[in-house]
Amino acid sequence: MKRVMKEFTGGSAFLSILAVIASLVVGGILIALSSPEVQSTATYLTARPSDFFQALWNSVFGAYDAMFRGAIFNYKAQDTLQMIKPITETLAYATPITMSGLGLAVAFRSGLFNIGATGQIIFGAMFAGWVGIYVDLPWYVHFPLAVLAGVLGGGLFGALVGFLKATTGANEVIVTIMFNYIAVLLLGYLLKTPILQAPGAVNPISPPVKDSAKYVFFLGDQFRLHGGVFAMIIAVVFTWWLLNRSTLGFRFRALGHNPNAAKVAGINIGLTYILVMGISGALSGLAGTSQILGSEQVLTLGVAASYGFDAITVALLGRSNPWGVLVAGLLFGGLRAGAVTMQANQGVPVDIVLVVQSLIVLFIAAPPLVRAIFRVKVSKEVAA
Amino acid sequence: MKQSKRTPIALLVMALVGLWLFISAPSGVTMINISTDSDIFKLPDFALNVALICGLAVAVQIAGLLVSGYLVLAKNHKTPRWVVIMFAVALVAEILIGLFAGKTMTFTSLLQGSLALAVPLIFGSLAGVLSERVGVVNIAIEGQLLAGAFVSALVTSLSHNLLAGLIGAMIAGALVAWVLAVFAIKYVVDQIIVGVVLNVLVVGLTNFIFSTLMVSNLPLYDQPDRYSNILIPVLGQIPVLGPVLFNQTLIVYLMYIAVGVVYFVLFKTRWGLRVRAVGEYPKAADTVGINVFRTRYISVMIGGALAGLGGSFFTLGQVGAFGKEMTNGAGYIALAALIFGRWNPIYAAFAALLFGFAENLQYGLAIIGSSVPSEFLLMLPYALTVVAVAGLVGKVTGPAASGKAYIKS
């Protein structure tokens, strides 16, 4: 029994949980420090400490309680539907983050640092949006076509980076950063011209996507969760298969481990760069379709939100392992959904989520630090 | 060995842009105003014929293209650098004259604005150089700039002391760099992960404190004094150069010094040699008795302090208040400048100036109102960077051990 316990506490899953706890504690400290009640009761701390601790508990518990009710289960809601709504919100947020995170994971595993998820999401959304808005077809053709267009849009934009790297050796970090700016500006331009702007609109906004191109809202219209969540699962399985079971994925990983060795082994490096970036971009393009054909349904400048950068963190947190990316994406989706409720109910700025998210990644990335904080001993079996 | 054709191809692409600008350029003249009040002697405004200048510029570009094409394809030589530089100057001149056709271009203020935008980028790229040369990839430049901007605003507002704000900014930047160093060196975490995450962390922290503390009393917490310009006698009165380079705030002068010092220290001193040795081949450096870990900590943290200094330029030098996420991606542009400048402080500074110039051009054009859709103007610097990186710079290799943790065995 002792040994089982030891193995558990030394294991990485346990350490991950500790990392999350440590991050929430730090977040809690920040929440408490910023609470006016805590500040005012602290001035007479020695006279009546109970007030202080009461305020402390209220601020921290109140915030995390709101976060739980916003992300997982709202036990204070009137009916069952409202009670389970939070978990669907979490899934809705997690969908694009995970999809795009998978794309970045493919690139990272192949040794390419793709920072261009934002641009690739935008390209996916533009292509899918254009098909979804202007093409008239029955849904069983229209919807797949729109999704395909989005995947193709993101994929081509990503592949272009791979092409430049393959033919000229251009550094993919610079190129993807520049492409993000270019994509945002191009979207801005198209939303001001009749190509994408809604007729009569003053703002940069497109007409809505036709119903026949939308993801199915299988829980009804009052939920934001849509069929993209199934596309996400398929994407996870596909990426897992691609990276771990396919020949192509083997080439990708070989490239990531040692490009020179891969070249000597007869792998066409240039073509592999193009394929890696193409697939990476295609998954971000899929995230774009989830936005435009699902959650948003009209194209605006904010279509990619901050998902492009969240995706980097998610891919890194998931250690570029598709299942890990899924877990990380769900965690981040939950934090994001919860933060919205937390801000509305408790007045805690949503930015606290950024702090908690980044601390989680830092702590998980450095197990010795977490062990030191919680004074967990390393068991010999695990350490060896 | 066969020479790569990518330079002539890149020149061809750019020459086509030049040709398009020439064809679409409106007729008329561009007025150039280069004198300012402080000049010793006044230079008169002068007018340039748009069609003539653009035509000349296109001619230079085509000549450059032909020379490059002939040398590479027929003679199998490299394209000489002066050809590329001449080409670039002609293209930039053409863009400027063409865009300002029929308007007055206040050349001096255009350059002043460019330098202002470039200052944080230059500090940021210096931070990157110091960090990557010693073998630690610094994606956290953005976070270091933002931390510097935030702390300098807060400290200066509270203390009404600009120097305190400056030092606070340096400490903040160095602190972010220290966290980067601890995770990269001690905990052997992937350096790119730490960098990206630190950027998010700093955004989160500064946003959080801004919305909970600063907003509650802006005059108290977020109204720092600003640097005033220091005019250097004589030098500052030379037309064009004077007002641009020698009538600036303290931070800008510190930037000149920093670029020179970082270059000198890295390439001319023993410590710099050690830094580079650690960044190229830590094991060899260790074998000859260099303390790899200490060298890395010191170099990364000095870099962070410089980035923090650059961050203070946003608040103390320019805007005069902190705003959420006010660095707005400057750290990533600094990263691009550093790679563009091949990990050399001086080249990186020039690359940063180029980005500053391109960015400032947008503002200049937005004010006078130009016929080209603004989005495409805004896109131009980024697109040309891609062409330049792909065509002219090509494969660049950073320090060999950059991004790799050193495990002492």
Among A67, A59, A62, CA closest to A89: A67
For range A78-90, the mean pLDDT: 89
From the list A170, A354, A366, which residue is nearest B187 (CB)? A366
Percent of chain A with pLDDT over 70: 95
Other C-beta atoms closer than 10 Å to the C-beta of A75 total 9
CB contact under 8 A, A178 and B390: no
Choose the mutation target among A178, A189, A258, A352 for the interface with B, i.e. most B CBs under 10 Å: A178
Residue span of the structural domain in which A106 resides = 98-335
From the list A167, A174, A356, which residue is nearest B389 (CB)? A174
For the beta sheet containing B29-33, the strands, ordered from the edge strand earlier in sequence to the opposite edge, are B46-49, B29-33, B104-106
Calculate the CA dihedral of residues B265, B267, B269, B274 and round it to 10 degrees.
100
| Integer angstrom CA distances of residue B16 from A5, B12, B80 | 69, 6, 21
* Residue A33 forms part of a structural domain: no
CB contact under 8 A, B200 and A179: no
- Chain B neighbors of A185, CB-CB under 8 A: 375-376, 378-379, 382
pLDDT in tens, B263-314: 999 999 999 999 999 999 999 999 999 999 999 999 999 999 999 999 999 9
Interatomic CA distance for residues A260 and B246, integer angstroms: 49
CB contact under 8 A, B198 and A164: no
- Asked if pLDDT for residue A14 goes beyond 50, the answer is yes
Interatomic CA distance for residues A119 and A127, integer angstroms: 12
* Residue A212 forms part of a structural domain: yes
Supply the ipTM of this predicted assembly: 0.82
From the list A113, A170, A186, which residue is nearest B192 (CB)? A113
pLDDT in tens, B20-75: 878 877 777 777 777 776 666 777 777 778 888 888 888 888 898 888 888 888 88
* Residue A105 forms part of a structural domain: yes
Whole-number pLDDT of residue A384: 36
Q: What is the interface size between A and B, counted as CB pairs within 8 Å? A: 136
Other C-beta atoms closer than 10 Å to the C-beta of B235 total 12
pLDDT in tens, A347-359: 888 889 889 989 9
- Asked if pLDDT for residue A170 goes beyond 90, the answer is no
Calculate the CA dihedral of residues B361, B365, B371, B376 and round it to 10 degrees.
40
> Is residue B56 less than 8 Å (CB to CB) from chain A?
no
CB contact under 8 A, B204 and A189: no
pLDDT in tens, A244-262: 999 999 999 999 998 899 9
CB contact under 8 A, B197 and A179: no
Choose the mutation target among A157, A171, A263 for the interface with B, i.e. most B CBs under 10 Å: A171
- Chain B neighbors of A115, CB-CB under 8 A: 332
* Residue A342 forms part of a structural domain: no
Choose the mutation target among A168, A176, A364 for the interface with B, i.e. most B CBs under 10 Å: A168
Q: How far is CA B337 from the centre of its chain?
A: 6
Whole-number pLDDT of residue A236: 97
Spatial CB neighbours of B377, under 8 Å, sequence gap ≥ 6: B99, B361, B362, B365, B370
Whole-number pLDDT of residue A380: 47
* Residue A182 forms part of a structural domain: yes
Neighbour-count burial for A41-52, b at 16+ CB within 10 Å, e otherwise: bbeeeeeeeebb
> Is residue B213 less than 8 Å (CB to CB) from chain A?
yes
Whether the CB-CB separation of A351 and B208 falls below 8 Å is answered with: yes
Smallest CA–CA distance, residue B238 to chain A, in Å, is 36
- Asked if pLDDT for residue A378 goes beyond 70, the answer is no
From the list B190, B382, B393, which residue is nearest A181 (CB)? B382
For range A104-111, the mean pLDDT: 94
CB contact under 8 A, A358 and B187: no
> Is residue A369 less than 8 Å (CB to CB) from chain B?
yes
Smallest CA–CA distance, residue A238 to chain B, in Å, is 25
Spatial CB neighbours of B310, under 8 Å, sequence gap ≥ 6: B119, B120, B121, B122, B123, B124, B126, B127, B145, B148, B173, B251, B255
Percent of chain B with pLDDT over 90: 37
Other C-beta atoms closer than 10 Å to the C-beta of A61 total 13
- Chain A neighbors of B340, CB-CB under 8 A: 174
* Residue A362 forms part of a structural domain: no
For range B205-218, the mean pLDDT: 89
pLDDT in tens, A176-190: 988 998 999 899 999
> Is residue A205 less than 8 Å (CB to CB) from chain B?
no
CB contact under 8 A, B200 and A309: yes
Whole-number pLDDT of residue B188: 87
CA nearest to A369 within chain B: B187
- Chain A neighbors of B204, CB-CB under 8 A: 351-358
Indicate the helix (H) or strand (E) that contains B48: strand B46-49
- Asked if pLDDT for residue A382 goes beyond 60, the answer is no
Whole-number pLDDT of residue B94: 83
Whole-number pLDDT of residue A5: 58
Residue A349 backbone phi and psi in degrees, to 5: -60, 145
Percent of chain B with pLDDT over 70: 94
Domains identified in chain A, total number: 1
Which one-letter amino acid corresponds to residue A323?
W
Higher-scoring residue by pLDDT: B386, B266: B266
Other C-beta atoms closer than 10 Å to the C-beta of A1 total 5
Whether the CB-CB separation of B315 and B224 falls below 8 Å is answered with: yes
- Asked if pLDDT for residue A214 goes beyond 50, the answer is yes
Among A104, A96, A115, CA closest to A287: A96
CA nearest to A173 within chain B: B336
CA nearest to B355 within chain A: A178
Whole-number pLDDT of residue B266: 95
> Is residue B375 less than 8 Å (CB to CB) from chain A?
yes
* Residue A293 forms part of a structural domain: yes
- Chain B neighbors of A30, CB-CB under 8 A: 208
Smallest CA–CA distance, residue B397 to chain A, in Å, is 9
Residue A6: pLDDT band with limits 50, 70, 90: low
| Integer angstrom CA distances of residue B80 from A227, B66, B77, B227, B264 | 57, 12, 9, 43, 27
From the list A34, A178, A354, which residue is nearest B212 (CB)? A34
> Is residue B372 less than 8 Å (CB to CB) from chain A?
no
Q: Which two tokens stand for residue B183?
A: 């995770």
For range B312-338, the mean pLDDT: 88
> Is residue A200 less than 8 Å (CB to CB) from chain B?
no
Interatomic CA distance for residues B123 and B178, integer angstroms: 17
* Residue A143 forms part of a structural domain: yes
Among B357, B362, B359, CA closest to B373: B362
Residue B340: pLDDT band with limits 50, 70, 90: confident
> Is residue A353 less than 8 Å (CB to CB) from chain B?
yes
For range A6-11, the mean pLDDT: 57
- Chain A neighbors of B209, CB-CB under 8 A: 34
